Structure 1
Amino acid sequence: MRIIIGLVVCLTVVLYVDPVGGRRVRKRCKPLVFPDTTRDCDKAPNAEGWYPDKTVCTFECREGCVRDKGKSRRVCKVRGRSKWWKPAGTGLKCRCRTCYSPPPAVTNTTGPCKYGDYAAGVTCTYQCADGYVKVGGDHSKLCDNGKWTGADLICEAEPDVDGNWATWGSWASCDVTCGGGVQTRTRTCTNPEPSGGGADCVGNPSQTRECNGWQCPDCSRVCDVGTLNAACDACTCDGHALAGHVMDTRRVPLSDADIFYAERPDESVASTDAMGNFGLSGACAQGVEIIVKRRGYFDTRANSEQVDATTSSVRVNMSAIVPPVIDQHPQSKKRIAGQDVTFCCAAHGNPPISSYEWFKDGLVLDEAVYNYDETLTITALTVDDSGTYRCRANSDAGAKYSDEATLDVEADSMTSCAAEPEENVISLPDDCVQEDTNSTGYDIGACGGDDCVGDLGEDDKACVDTMRFCCVPTSTETRTVHCSGYSLNVTVTTECGCGSCVKTSTKRIQGRAYGVNRTDNASTEVPLKYGPVIKDGQVVDITSETGIFEFTIETTASKIALTFRDNFKNLVTSTRVLSLTDSDTLDFDVVMKLRPPPVTLMSSQNNVIDLGTVEGEEPLAELDIPANSLFTADGEMFSGEVKASVSFIDPRNPDDFELIQGELTAVDVEGREETMETFGMFNMDFETEEGDSLELGGD
């Protein structure tokens, strides 16, 4: 027994003591390799691939193989010169069977795997055949230990999607720098792109316009006044000067407007300062033509006037660009197959409307086929012409869609109005019990009164149908109803047909405009007394002492915008967009914001006014009013004390919700309306001590 113990001790010493001068011993585990597996270790090996002590490696069967036997987890153990993976054994063994045939064929698909054997882990990828789209399943199938896995790809015939135009691109550069050229913009049929049996976009994919029409430099040119400059593109006069002033139609000075000689409209020679002033050296006093350009305004031409032998002056009034505004919307109509129909659209803007487009069910109609402008006429209608129509007015300032109009085309007059009357049971006196029904109810028939399609004659091409047709009685008879000791005569409808009935596009707009003075204990109404009600710049009514207004208009529009102004300055001038219905009389309550007390400002100083109406909360924003930025009606800078009244509609304050003016929508470049989010609205009024209005200048 002693000998055995001694041997054990001796062996232990040998294992744990490095021999002097012996070869280097790796204190790492040799990497393990098991066929058809993947390895993931929590510590990195050295350059030779050996792992340090306590490394944990996890083994998995590669894709397409399954575990047969063995452990998947090994830990590296190092003790002196000994190192081993624990637990011991042959390690993970995987089974990888071959797929001896391709995946079963699936209809309406294409793929590369059609013949032969496929090793475990091979993936076959499939696509839908041309004209088909995926509606389910998987694109790939995996040979998984001799079996194909993955759901069959399911493809169905591609639905018919009509193409629609994407937004117009930007105008390309002019093809010449002078002398008159052409520039182009394009659009693509990708919104959406047509697919299946869907129709392609109709209309022109490109537009052109003239550009750079000024004369090219001519060094042989002889100037009537002055001398030709070195660039041969303008006549100048040494020692002469032009003083100019630029303002808008309100006579408010415009800063940052660029000035060009009309002979050189591609090269800016000056710009206006904060007061709208500019100067040009070398401009001949006898008169020069200039072009003024500013973002948001029309390019404006003007000729200078001579002041004396060497100086001239010019005052330029610029008009703001106004995107298209729809004045007349198309009207919904009903027709019988074979009749004609006309839809009308009218708009204004600055610049004027350059073109109209018509759409049916969201797709533009081919102008070459329908030959339309602001009116669209379709003759010899068919049932297929039924749908939703609207126009789009286009100008260089943008585009605007009209309201939608519905066209219902019936196959015949019987379709729009059934000859058989509807049931309409009336109650007879209690002693008039009818034998056939054993009740006092008696069916006298009715035709419903719904709109139907009649014969408009030549008026079927009018913008607004001047006649209305309803389903009305065309045949009646008088029947005798017997009661207890007496009888009654009852008129019964026996046949219905389409007949004329009263129709008008006249609407009575009425209501009341007032403000609400809220205190801790009560709310008091403040009526708009004798205030103008304004539509399209024209006064259509004056409110009464109690704020009541009433007027009539001829319109087919679904909305109107009205402005309410308080001449007594108790309420803030407000604009409301009112939605119209089919009713001939519409009643509205217009709640206006109370005008806040004015504060006194000095026009020569920078002023800041806080914007916010929620007590205890920080202002939502600040209004900065620069020094010397207020101007009189004559366009002169005002100096002195100013009475400023600034009201703010705070989106954080529920009491302000009903005071929101206008409509929170914007129009994109294609004319589509988009809903906006508001961060508040404010209204500003500035007056002199004498009550004369002032304008905030510049921008």
Structure 2
Amino acid sequence: GTPDAEEPTVTAWGLEGSSLRPGQPSPALEDWEEASEWTSWFNVDHPGGDGDFESLAAIRFYYGPARVCPRPLALEARTTDWALPSDVGERVHLNPTRVFWCLNREQPRGRSCSNYHVRFRCPLEATWGSWGPWGPCSGSCGPGRRLRRRRCPSPAGDACPGRPSEAQKCVRPRCPGCGPNTCGCPDHILLGSVVTPSGHPLPGARVSLRDWPGTVATSDAHGTFRMPGVCASSRANVSAQMDGFSAGMAQAQANSSMSAVATVVLNKLEKPYLVKHPESRVREAGQNVTFCCKASGTPMPKKYSWFHNGTLLDRRTHRYGAHLELHGLRPDQAGTYHCKAWNDAGAVRSGTARLTVLAPGQPACDPRPQEHLIKLPDDCGQPGRGPTYLDVGLCPDTLCPSPAGSSPRCGDAGSRCCSVSRLESRKVHCSGYTLPVKIVAECGCQKCLPLRGLIRGRVVAADSSEPLRFARILLGREPIGFTSYQGDFTLEVAPSTQRLVMTFVDPSGQFVDTVRVLPFDPRGAGVYHEVKAMRKKAPIILDARQSNTISLGEMGEEAPLAAGIIPPGAFRSADGQPYTGAVEAQV
């Protein structure tokens, strides 16, 4: 195209900006009247075809819009061998708002464009001055806030990014009397405990109150803690943190006129795992598309990132979370997409989805069927010529664009696939009979048929093969069904499922929970599994006052692999007090 008249374009040298001559090297930072700096070097195109093109739109797309300022002051181009265009005798075009292009047809005979990379001169952003001192704590007693401020000394009057002030919690001496907040009751006390969901105490947990900054107490060896001075009627919010566990919170409840209690439950951190992966899509240019990703874990992942062809997409530009929506699709947005999800325990990467962007009117499904040969019966061919095959045709297994105006939801209910649109009947003459066949005559875009992988199986005891009747079936942590009276089960699996992890729970408690990764066919074919459950050992009675030994790893007549030794006084009640009675134990 032809550059716009209002955008000056420099031709035949490697730097464009004010007061520059052909072939002049990069000016030093102090030579610019306006405070500015150079960006890093960019190279998104390689020479070939008509030449080398480094467009600003492509650079911002692949490197991120924040890497180049909105209005560059100047532009420099050099070959990847670090030579200016004038040094290698090549004619190029540069414009800070459109960037760089080199056309092979404009070069001297026998020469084509080199591979160039470019960089930009950008004005420096206004920056904040140093923070001032913290101001006084608000209020006369109890929890409060204090502020500090900073100035933006910009000579051009530009706004600095961020806020001019920030706040911090602070605490003055405790207020007298018993108020609605958590402080100010010298004779009152908050008693609490930090436990796992199963009730196991957690020693060493850091306990704090919402209105008091920092750690106020630490749980002891029995998971309990004490907070003097907390008003019984305050209904204080108590939070606890511990390495390897997600943070938990509970509200204190008064149990007398001068004391309150709180139990904080902490769940063990669990790395995130994918529940839903993004699925491949086909769209026409100008249409919209939505990719969906869903992860679970402890705590529940809340941070998602999306990648296009392996490059991180800018969160502020696309405003994505678990869903990525792209509007008015362009051809350069085709390619692969995947997501990553984070929580405090780690990250997980989804499978890859492919986006195909077709030009308007470009067919996604070739109406001509592909070759697909089937072998005919032996008496349907000519004697002595070997087996006979018939081409019955096959439509490619590809997706088609959704109809215009279809819902952008994740399910993509309007999905269409390339499938058979017309069949033709044929007759094959065999020895003494005629074989009727149908062949694919034409392919077209039709509504996709929902594919469901089918899982069948039976759950039995490993020692006696008796069925596990009415056992609960869990997919991850979600209950999805029960086994029958004979231990049988039949389940449907969505084709987007990547890994099928099933748990079978015996309602009688006689068998260990059985976890299996079950293979399945996402194309819809049924798969049969026989699942064997291990029987728990019979319970034994222990005396909590004495030392007890439990054999571990016994198999048939063989000696146990190990032994668990429980010292006297090891059992405690829920309140942390020693327990001295009988204990029923089962491994």
TM-score normalised per structure 2: 0.60
1:345 deviates by: 1.6
The aligned residue for residue 512 of structure 2 is 572
Asked if residue 271 in structure 1 is aligned to residue 218 in structure 2, the reply is yes
1:343 deviates by: 0.9
Which whole-Å deviations, capped at 9, do the CAs of 1:634-676 have from their partners, x for residues lacking one?
9987552223222xxxxxxxxxxxxxxxxxxxxxxxxxxxxxx
Which whole-Å deviations, capped at 9, do the CAs of 1:373-411 have from their partners, x for residues lacking one?
221123454555444322222344543333333434566
> Aligned to 2:469, what secondary structure does the other structure show?
coil
Asked if residue 300 in structure 1 is aligned to residue 249 in structure 2, the reply is yes
Which residue identity lines up with residue 273 of structure 1 in the other structure? D
The aligned residue for residue 292 of structure 2 is 344
Counterparts in 2 of 1:618 and 1:568: CA distance versus 1, 3 Å: closer
CA distance in 1, matches of 2:481, 2:331: 45
The aligned residue for residue 539 of structure 1 is 479
Give yes or no for contact 2:378–2:388 (8 Å, CA) kept in 1: no
Which residue identity lines up with residue 600 of structure 1 in the other structure? I
Which whole-Å deviations, capped at 9, do the CAs of 1:422-466 have from their partners, x for residues lacking one?
2535637847869xx989947453124523425444336331233
* 1:235 alignment partner, one of 184, 193, 216: 184
Asked if residue 508 in structure 1 is aligned to residue 454 in structure 2, the reply is yes
Counterparts in 2 of 1:366 and 1:486: CA distance versus 1, 3 Å: same
The aligned residue for residue 223 of structure 1 is 176
The aligned residue for residue 391 of structure 1 is 339
Counterparts in 2 of 1:593 and 1:385: CA distance versus 1, 3 Å: farther
CA distance in 2, matches of 1:555, 1:425: 28
Query: Aligned runs of 1:659-670 on 2, under 5 Å?
Result: none
Give yes or no for contact 1:421–1:493 (8 Å, CA) kept in 2: no
> Aligned to 1:342, what secondary structure does the other structure show?
strand
1:306 deviates by: 5.8
1:243 deviates by: 3.5
Counterparts in 2 of 1:500 and 1:259: CA distance versus 1, 3 Å: closer
1:624 deviates by: 5.6
* 2:530 alignment partner, one of 589, 602, 605: 589
Which residue identity lines up with residue 363 of structure 1 in the other structure? T
Q: Aligned residue pairs: how many? A: 436
1:564 deviates by: 1.2
CA distance in 2, matches of 1:212, 1:249: 36
CA distance in 2, matches of 1:318, 1:535: 24
> Aligned to 2:317, what secondary structure does the other structure show?
helix
1:358 deviates by: 0.9
Which residue identity lines up with residue 171 of structure 2 in the other structure? P
> Aligned to 2:213, what secondary structure does the other structure show?
coil
1:330 deviates by: 1.7
* 1:367 alignment partner, one of 304, 315, 337: 315
Query: Aligned runs of 1:6-405 on 2, under 5 Å?
Result: 179=145, 214=169, 216-218=170-172, 222-225=175-178, 235-237=184-186, 239-268=187-216, 270-285=217-232, 287=234, 289=236, 291-295=238-242, 296-305=245-254, 307-308=256-257, 311-320=258-267, 322-323=269-270, 324-335=272-283, 339-349=287-297, 351-381=299-329, 384-396=332-344, 398-405=346-353
Which whole-Å deviations, capped at 9, do the CAs of 1:40-67 have from their partners, x for residues lacking one?
xxxxxxxxxxxxxxxxxxxxxxxxxxxx
Which residue identity lines up with residue 302 of structure 1 in the other structure? Q
The aligned residue for residue 119 of structure 1 is none
> Aligned to 1:563, what secondary structure does the other structure show?
strand
Counterparts in 2 of 1:265 and 1:607: CA distance versus 1, 3 Å: farther
Asked if residue 446 in structure 1 is aligned to residue 393 in structure 2, the reply is yes
CA distance in 1, matches of 2:431, 2:211: 102
Query: Aligned runs of 1:609-628 on 2, under 5 Å?
Result: 609=550, 611-612=552-553, 619=561, 627-628=569-570
Which residue identity lines up with residue 235 of structure 1 in the other structure? G
The aligned residue for residue 598 of structure 1 is 539
Deviates more, 1:257-266 or 1:485-494: 485-494
1:320 deviates by: 1.8
1:262 deviates by: 4.3
CA distance in 2, matches of 1:299, 1:596: 35
Which residue identity lines up with residue 556 of structure 1 in the other structure? S
Give yes or no for contact 2:202–2:221 (8 Å, CA) kept in 1: yes
CA distance in 1, matches of 2:578, 2:504: 29
What is the percent sequence identity of the aligned residues? 27
Which residue identity lines up with residue 511 of structure 1 in the other structure? G
5+ residue gaps, structure 1, are: 1-129, 133-156, 161-174, 183-205, 518-523, 647-699
1:582 deviates by: 1.4
Which residue identity lines up with residue 516 of structure 1 in the other structure? A
Counterparts in 2 of 1:548 and 1:485: CA distance versus 1, 3 Å: closer
Give yes or no for contact 2:146–2:168 (8 Å, CA) kept in 1: yes
Alignment root-mean-square deviation, CA: 4.8
1:264 deviates by: 2.9
Counterparts in 2 of 1:626 and 1:558: CA distance versus 1, 3 Å: farther
Which residue identity lines up with residue 525 of structure 1 in the other structure? S
CA distance in 2, matches of 1:495, 1:274: 75
Give yes or no for contact 1:610–1:621 (8 Å, CA) kept in 2: yes
